[in-house]
Amino acid sequence: MVHGLLGRKVGMMQIFTEKGEVVPVTVISAGPCVVTQVRVRERDGYDAVQIGFEQVPARKLTKPQQGHLKGAGTLVRVLREFSADNPQEHSVGEIINVELFSPGQKVDISGTSKGRGFAGVVRRHGFRGGPKTHGQSDRHRAPGSIGAGNSPGRVWKGQKMAGRMGGKRVTVQNLEVVEVLPDKNLILVKGSVPGARNGLLQIRRAVKG
């Protein structure tokens, strides 16, 4: 069985349990995905299953892309590879849907975080800023010292400083699947997931679950 699925973030809402408790959930439109290629160790050096998501017209793809997807019988926009228990059990053209997951299961979800633009160290890294009194009129949100002047005589690589924030791949682990709706291709996951509405998500079986 393949370990993951592709989907897009629909948004957040809340549902009520049988005990009357409010649970915040993220609604994800996942699948159906089609198997486009099966990777085997003997030929490719590793085992994996490549799946595609979101059908598109032929004019949206190049000729090489169309040739790669010819065996799957459908043209898709997004391709990703996932590990599988036994990749040889899957065949090109096979359809995988949300029934891959079940309520109560733990999943890891990866997506691209919202881009925040250029941000200072207070917002980007949570710095507390400088003193607001004793003559410090312009240091309220400044980073302060970024290193010694004599040794090492340079700024360390990776030093936390102001810069572009967000727009990076983020993974949230051990999220609980609250409900699966196969007829609507929807998954309800407890809590929030990375990215904006309609952002591409990779839903995988939890590695630490």
Instruction: Tell me: do 177 and 188 sit in the same domain.
Output: yes
pLDDT band (50, 70, 90) for residue 91: confident
- Residue 181, domain CATH: 2.40.30.10
Phi, psi for 103 (deg, rounded to 5): -55, 140
Residues of the domain holding 161: 117-144+157-165
Per the domain annotation, does 152 fall within a domain?
no
| 71 and 30 both lie in a single domain | yes
Residue 60 falls inside a structural domain: yes
pLDDT recorded at residue 165: 95
Is 177:103 a contact under the CB 8 Å cutoff?
A: yes
Q: Are residues 43 and 97 in the same domain?
A: yes
Together in a domain, 110 and 140: no
Decide if 32 contacts 96 (C-beta within 8 A).
Answer: yes
Q: Are residues 91 and 139 in the same domain?
A: no
The 8-class DSSP code of residue 196 comes to -
- pLDDT the model gives residue 138: 87
Specify which residues 12 forms β-bridges with. Answer: 26
pLDDT digits (tens, 9 = 90+) for 16-34: 988 889 999 999 999 899 9
Does residue 200 form part of some domain?
A: yes
The whole-number pLDDT of residue 84 equals 86
Same-domain pairing of 96 and 53: yes
Q: Are residues 138 and 51 in the same domain?
A: no
Q: Do residues 161 and 58 both lie within one domain?
A: no
Judgement on whether residues 42 and 70 belong to the same structural domain of the protein: yes
Q: Are 126 and 179 in a shared domain? A: no
